[in-house]
Chain A
């Protein structure tokens, strides 16, 4: 479906810097691809065509003047619509932010801009990143470019679809419980959830602050590495940002896995995993062994409780983070007789069903008399999971599991059953609870011909080793 000559981000940057391609022509190609495919896919809430062309012109002018525009020179990037962009509407796919235009850029947006990237648009998502299919968008669902009758996964479905459809070689998403990795798996692209604190959250519209992390989507592992290197690093505007600079992951991509100890995560690889997904994982394990890794079964017993803890902690934080959408200062306002009535009318009209459900769950979990039983207990479980992983990291350098229990499901298949939808995240949420790093790498297809993703998990700040294994898997296909 794509007319774009499939150049990777790394190739584009090299071509633009050397003058072999103009950034303008690269952007025009991608805008053409968007024009051709967007009506079917609906990856974007907003395509910033004019802004992108202007920016590409600046990159070309810089190259002509002998100035290096940066490591992502002229690379088109799609941004999830919960990342603040100065002067460009940021909606979180919600009616409640109607008309709001951020007066500032997110740190990641600034960093990509400084690296020479060109933003082509803001991508569709589940409202406020709450969902696993991008069906919870106020602006309609995104479709999976591999099969338009299927969902792209979520919540960063628009970004995953944009990369899969060739609308942009790379994109940014956000991952609170799997929202980068699961859509990456379902759309057959690479998706990275970095260590909590490696990438600044300043300018990311919060869903669950202690779990949210921004990361890249890309068609290749090397592109994902290049984007991660551009956006990561300390930021004084985010107190949870890790203060010590980390080595770039791109430098060690080709170092292989020889001698690495890799565990197959038992709790996330057995019950409930579709047979074709399980066989994809077995093939990946075989490839890692062939490359010299020592593979064994690994057990993190508390990981089985990850989903339960996640669906209390995330809504609890969300209920507080989303309180500010009250109609007073920005976004939607539905007028009423008094301020409290205006608040209620605005929130009733502005939020979708899933957001309301989670605000209610979270409010309940934090209420007097219920805090200890719900939020408090979930935090204890979170500590248990962290402790269990800590002991596993004494024996293993990396862990692997499926990313999603199934390949892409059909639109509408799980919308009536929130629990079935929540189960989509069972393999991905433990990593958010622990703050560790993980990546989903496409590894073959299932019985339905749709992509299967393999998840590689690393301890906190284990990105360099994790990327080495991802590169080995990619090369083995």
Chain B
């Protein structure tokens, strides 16, 4: 039995030409505040269970919430970065029973969120509408003991309230994403924005960025939305892509065989690569939202919002534009990657020192994955210039760069210490002449048009010099000798 790329027998990619996938995402990001949304307990990942708590975050009788202004500021930063309208907002109680929720209601925002009607631009230039980005508190965490950690077979459960009350911003996109790939780009871009404005650390692996996706399909060309399924438990960009592809395929298969798609909440299982039904629309909670009477409406002044706007750093999109302008011939993917890795400033600085943009970006994208370390922009610029001048081969440059990242310093000094003194022109000429003399047969065949034999000579030159010879320089010399011979014949 063959296994398709989704890990599911018989299923291929859902690139069905008759169907269109429609995706809307709800992203929850933990805001990078010192304290919780409504109390002075620390907002910190990990820690001994139930140590980052106080009467308010435990929802003890008589406790009252007091809004953390820093969380509001971060929410406004996100709203501005997503070009949202920042408006007067009202906190609301979302009521449902769950042991990891201390008050058995969550303080969230409902019909009057702080940020509405924004957009996010994918690296492709396509704009995705943002419906809202609102503030709410996080829940605690339940651990099921026994029965393999599954709730129904567990012997008992323990609750850790360290996370209860941590500030979240929930960013809801419009259903304008059209593929798993776009969804991944959207989340990557959103994460970059959240990190850039200092709102969140964006760590999916620590749960500080969580994604629920709403997936539906419809006949291509239709403008009506199909019944959607909400998918939970998507914990990485990779799972996001896989879950959407699986779910779209599942829905297409249902519709193609004449069966309806039931509106459901579904759970993504990483191990079997499938989504599983959690509950139907009818089983959905009635959250009985109503305005939170313990908090006043939130009405950020226009002056304060403007002050925050002026303090915003350059956003990834602007940084990409700037880098692309400075390096017009460089591939957009490399530009995006440089910005995503926050290496754009370094690249721009190196270019302003006169280094060739293509080569700078090549190093940035391929050789600085672990970060720039001790590498100074000036050193990167010098390194690229040495390469251009033929003083270092590409292989050597890479090794020099590694030293600069680890230890800093100048490329000239590092090259010297590595023994990468470039061969002088006379030495290389003598070497090439020697190789021609030793291999007359290969030489005449190459002169006769057997182009691949250039590699033979370059290889011999490398071997003879222990890699010091510059392959390009060897080829140039070979060409020069051939034209001399044909000229004298």
Contact = CB atoms under 8 A, between A and B. Distances in A.
A201 to B, nearest CB: 6
A103 to B, nearest CB: 7
A323 B61 CA distance: 11
A237 B99 CA distance: 25
Interface string A314-328: 001101100110101
Which of A104, A201, A323, A343 is most buried by chain B, counting CB atoms within 10 A of its CB? A323
A328 B290 contact: no
A97 B296 contact: no
Of listed B55, B62, B105, residue having the most chain A CB within 10 A:
B62
A325 to B, nearest CB: 8
Interface residues of A, number: 44
A351 interface: no
B159 A328 contact: yes
A205 to B, nearest CB: 4
B90 to A, nearest CB: 13
B64 to A, nearest CB: 5
Contact of B97 (A103, A316, A340): A340
Contacts of A202: 62-64
Contacts of A317: 290, 293
A330 B59 CA distance: 11
A15 interface: no
A205 B64 CA distance: 10
A191 to B, nearest CB: 21
Nearest to A366: B288
A420 B102 CA distance: 36
B296 A320 contact: no
Nearest to A339: B99
A239 B62 contact: no
Nearest to A83: B62
Interface string B290-309: 10011110000000000000
The DSSP consensus for interface residues of chain A is loop
Contacts of B59: 324
A323 B294 contact: no
Contact of B290 (A206, A343, A366): A366
A330 B294 CA distance: 22
Contacts of A203: 62-63
Interface in A366-405: 366-368, 371, 375
B65 A84 contact: no
A383 to B, nearest CB: 13
B286 interface: yes
A245 B157 CA distance: 47
Nearest to A368: B286
Contacts, number: 94
Nearest to B286: A368
Contact of A343 (B64, B65, B97, B289): B97
B226 to A, nearest CB: 24
Interface string B79-120: 000000000000001010101001111000000000000000
Contacts of B58: 329
Contacts of B61: 84, 90, 92, 97, 100, 102, 205-206, 324
A197 to B, nearest CB: 10
Interface in A192-210: 201-206, 208-210
Contact of A326 (B64, B95, B97): B97
Nearest to B296: A239
A422 B61 CA distance: 25
A201 B103 CA distance: 17
Given A209-B293, A320-B95, A323-B103, A367 B288 contact: yes
Contacts of B95: 319-320, 323, 366
24 contacts: A90-B61, A90-B62, A102-B62, A104-B62, A201-B64, A202-B64, A203-B62, A206-B294, A208-B293, A237-B64, A237-B66, A238-B66, A240-B296, A316-B290, A320-B105, A324-B59, A324-B103, A326-B104, A328-B159, A363-B288, A366-B288, A367-B286, A368-B286, A371-B290
Given A104-B55, A239-B64, 9 more contacts: A84-B62, A103-B60, A104-B60, A202-B62, A239-B295, A239-B296, A319-B288, A320-B105, A328-B159
Q: Sort A-B residue pairs by CB-CB distance and give the 5 closest, nearest first.
A: A323-B104, A210-B293, A366-B288, A209-B293, A205-B61
